[in-house]
A = this chain, B = another copy of it.
Protein backbone atom coordinates (compact mmCIF):
# COMPACT_ATOMS: atom_id res chain seq x y z
CA UNK A 1 0.00 0.00 0.00
CA UNK A 2 1.78 3.05 -1.17
CA UNK A 3 1.82 6.41 0.50
CA UNK A 4 0.32 7.34 3.80
CA UNK A 5 -1.09 4.16 5.12
CA UNK A 6 -2.91 6.21 7.65
CA UNK A 7 -6.31 7.18 6.41
CA UNK A 8 -5.94 10.72 7.63
CA UNK A 9 -9.21 12.34 8.41
CA UNK A 10 -11.14 9.11 8.21
CA UNK A 11 -12.18 9.22 11.81
CA UNK A 12 -13.98 5.94 11.83
CA UNK A 13 -13.24 2.60 13.32
CA UNK A 14 -13.08 0.87 9.96
CA UNK A 15 -10.22 3.12 8.91
CA UNK A 16 -8.45 2.39 12.18
CA UNK A 17 -8.82 -1.32 11.55
CA UNK A 18 -7.54 -0.96 8.01
CA UNK A 19 -4.47 0.84 9.23
CA UNK A 20 -3.59 -2.32 11.11
CA UNK A 21 -4.70 -5.14 8.85
CA UNK A 22 -5.45 -3.35 5.58
CA UNK A 23 -2.01 -3.46 4.10
CA UNK A 24 -1.00 -5.89 1.46
CA UNK A 25 -0.08 -9.36 2.77
CA UNK A 26 -1.28 -8.62 6.29
CA UNK A 27 -4.55 -10.53 6.19
CA UNK A 28 -2.85 -13.46 4.50
CA UNK A 29 -0.35 -13.57 7.33
CA UNK A 30 -3.17 -13.56 9.84
CA UNK A 31 -4.93 -16.31 7.96
CA UNK A 32 -1.80 -18.42 8.01
CA UNK A 33 -1.55 -17.80 11.73
CA UNK A 34 -5.02 -19.28 12.09
CA UNK A 35 -3.90 -22.25 10.07
CA UNK A 36 -1.16 -22.88 12.56
CA UNK A 37 1.81 -21.20 10.95
CA UNK A 38 4.07 -19.64 13.55
CA UNK A 39 7.59 -19.42 12.29
CA UNK A 40 9.17 -16.75 10.15
CA UNK A 41 10.48 -19.17 7.57
CA UNK A 42 7.14 -20.93 7.26
CA UNK A 43 5.30 -17.69 6.58
CA UNK A 44 8.01 -16.81 4.15
CA UNK A 45 7.90 -19.92 2.05
CA UNK A 46 4.14 -20.30 2.16
CA UNK A 47 3.32 -16.73 1.24
CA UNK A 48 6.23 -16.34 -1.11
CA UNK A 49 6.80 -12.75 -0.16
CA UNK A 50 9.91 -10.62 0.43
CA UNK A 51 11.45 -11.21 3.81
CA UNK A 52 11.78 -7.52 4.52
CA UNK A 53 8.07 -7.03 3.95
CA UNK A 54 7.21 -10.03 6.10
CA UNK A 55 9.42 -8.68 8.83
CA UNK A 56 7.72 -5.31 8.67
CA UNK A 57 4.22 -6.78 8.69
CA UNK A 58 4.94 -9.09 11.61
CA UNK A 59 6.33 -6.16 13.52
CA UNK A 60 3.27 -4.00 13.06
CA UNK A 61 1.00 -6.90 13.91
CA UNK A 62 2.91 -7.47 17.13
CA UNK A 63 2.98 -3.76 17.77
CA UNK A 64 -0.78 -3.52 17.50
CA UNK A 65 -1.38 -6.60 19.57
CA UNK A 66 -2.69 -8.89 16.87
CA UNK A 67 0.21 -11.27 17.23
CA UNK A 68 2.42 -11.96 20.21
CA UNK A 69 5.98 -13.07 19.91
CA UNK A 70 6.85 -16.07 22.01
CA UNK A 71 10.48 -16.85 21.50
CA UNK A 72 10.70 -17.26 17.76
CA UNK A 73 7.05 -17.96 17.24
CA UNK A 74 4.24 -15.61 16.37
CA UNK A 75 0.93 -16.53 17.92
CA UNK A 76 -2.44 -14.89 17.69
CA UNK A 77 -3.55 -12.83 20.67
CA UNK A 78 -7.14 -12.41 21.78
CA UNK A 79 -7.46 -9.46 19.45
CA UNK A 80 -6.02 -11.55 16.66
CA UNK A 81 -8.36 -14.43 17.34
CA UNK A 82 -11.32 -12.07 17.24
CA UNK A 83 -10.40 -11.35 13.66
CA UNK A 84 -11.54 -14.78 12.59
CA UNK A 85 -15.04 -13.77 11.43
CA UNK A 86 -13.51 -11.18 9.14
CA UNK A 87 -10.90 -13.48 7.67
CA UNK A 88 -13.32 -16.31 7.21
CA UNK A 89 -16.02 -14.03 5.89
CA UNK A 90 -13.75 -12.56 3.28
CA UNK A 91 -12.55 -15.97 2.18
CA UNK A 92 -16.12 -17.19 1.83
CA UNK A 93 -17.06 -14.07 -0.07
CA UNK A 94 -14.20 -14.70 -2.46
CA UNK A 95 -15.24 -18.29 -2.86
CA UNK A 96 -18.85 -17.46 -3.55
CA UNK A 97 -18.11 -14.76 -6.06
CA UNK A 98 -14.86 -15.72 -7.69
CA UNK A 99 -14.16 -19.31 -6.79
CA UNK A 100 -15.07 -21.31 -9.84
CA UNK A 101 -13.73 -24.60 -8.63
CA UNK A 102 -14.74 -24.52 -5.00
CA UNK A 103 -12.69 -23.67 -1.97
CA UNK A 104 -9.15 -24.78 -1.29
CA UNK A 105 -9.79 -25.43 2.35
CA UNK A 106 -12.85 -26.63 4.12
CA UNK A 107 -13.52 -25.64 7.70
CA UNK A 108 -15.25 -28.29 9.68
CA UNK A 109 -16.65 -28.09 13.16
CA UNK A 110 -14.56 -30.61 15.07
CA UNK A 111 -17.36 -31.53 17.44
CA UNK A 112 -19.86 -32.62 14.83
CA UNK A 113 -17.95 -32.87 11.59
CA UNK A 114 -20.11 -30.52 9.54
CA UNK A 115 -18.79 -27.68 7.46
CA UNK A 116 -19.43 -24.31 8.99
CA UNK A 117 -21.57 -21.72 7.25
CA UNK A 118 -20.16 -18.58 5.64
CA UNK A 119 -21.12 -16.58 8.71
CA UNK A 120 -18.96 -18.83 10.86
CA UNK A 121 -21.76 -20.73 12.55
CA UNK A 122 -22.37 -24.45 12.60
CA UNK A 123 -25.66 -25.37 10.91
CA UNK A 124 -26.17 -28.53 12.94
CA UNK A 125 -25.15 -27.16 16.32
CA UNK A 126 -27.48 -24.20 16.41
CA UNK A 127 -26.61 -20.67 15.44
CA UNK A 128 -23.68 -20.24 17.77
CA UNK A 129 -20.47 -19.03 16.13
CA UNK A 130 -17.75 -21.66 16.13
CA UNK A 131 -14.44 -20.59 17.58
CA UNK A 132 -11.33 -21.20 15.47
CA UNK A 133 -9.94 -23.60 18.04
CA UNK A 134 -12.92 -25.87 17.45
CA UNK A 135 -12.32 -26.08 13.72
CA UNK A 136 -10.52 -28.57 11.58
CA UNK A 137 -8.98 -27.82 8.21
CA UNK A 138 -9.62 -30.22 5.37
CA UNK A 139 -8.47 -29.97 1.78
CA UNK A 140 -11.16 -28.58 -0.51
CA UNK A 141 -12.12 -29.47 -4.10
CA UNK A 142 -9.46 -27.25 -5.59
CA UNK A 143 -6.77 -27.79 -3.02
CA UNK A 144 -3.54 -26.31 -4.26
CA UNK A 145 -0.73 -27.90 -6.11
CA UNK A 146 2.05 -26.02 -4.42
CA UNK A 147 4.61 -28.24 -2.86
CA UNK A 148 6.22 -26.21 -0.16
CA UNK A 149 6.19 -27.80 3.26
CA UNK A 150 3.43 -25.66 4.70
CA UNK A 151 1.13 -26.19 1.74
CA UNK A 152 1.68 -29.89 2.00
CA UNK A 153 0.96 -29.82 5.71
CA UNK A 154 -2.24 -27.92 5.04
CA UNK A 155 -3.34 -30.66 2.70
CA UNK A 156 -3.46 -32.96 5.68
CA UNK A 157 -6.58 -32.53 7.78
CA UNK A 158 -5.56 -31.03 11.08
CA UNK A 159 -6.70 -28.91 13.95
CA UNK A 160 -6.61 -25.22 13.50
CA UNK A 161 -4.12 -23.04 15.38
CA UNK A 162 -1.95 -26.00 16.29
CA UNK A 163 1.58 -25.43 15.01
CA UNK A 164 2.24 -26.90 11.62
CA UNK A 165 5.14 -29.31 11.58
CA UNK A 166 7.32 -28.72 8.57
Which stretch from A2-10, A55-63, A67-75, A155-163 is at the chain B interface? Answer: A2-10
Tell me whether A22 and B24 are in contact (CB under 8 A). Answer: yes
Tell me whether B17 and A90 are in contact (CB under 8 A). Answer: yes
- Minimum Cβ distance to chain B for residue A32 (Å): 10
Contact with B along A38-65 (1 / 0, CB 8 A): 0000000001100000000000000011
Using Cβ atoms and an 8 Å threshold, which residues of chain B touch A96?
Answer: 79, 82
Q: Does A104 contact B (CB under 8 A)?
A: yes
Tell me whether B13 and A28 are in contact (CB under 8 A). Answer: no
Tell me whether B17 and A93 are in contact (CB under 8 A). Answer: yes
Tell me whether A14 and B47 are in contact (CB under 8 A). Answer: no
Tell me whether B48 and A104 are in contact (CB under 8 A). Answer: no
CB nearest to A86 among chain B residues: B89
Contact of A85 among B22, B48, B65, B119 (CB under 8 A): B119
Q: Does A87 contact B (CB under 8 A)?
A: yes
Q: Does A12 contact B (CB under 8 A)?
A: yes
Interface size, A (range): 35 or more
Cα–Cα distance between A145 and B28 once the two chains are bound (Å): 34
List 19 contacting pairs A-B, 8 Å CB cutoff, sorted by A. Answer: A1-B24, A7-B28, A10-B28, A11-B144, A11-B146, A14-B27, A14-B94, A15-B28, A15-B94, A16-B94, A16-B95, A17-B91, A18-B94, A22-B24, A82-B96, A85-B85, A86-B86, A86-B90, A127-B128
Using Cβ atoms and an 8 Å threshold, which residues of chain B touch A22?
Answer: 22, 24, 27
Cα–Cα distance between A107 and B85 once the two chains are bound (Å): 18
Q: Does A166 contact B (CB under 8 A)?
A: no
Q: Does A20 contact B (CB under 8 A)?
A: yes
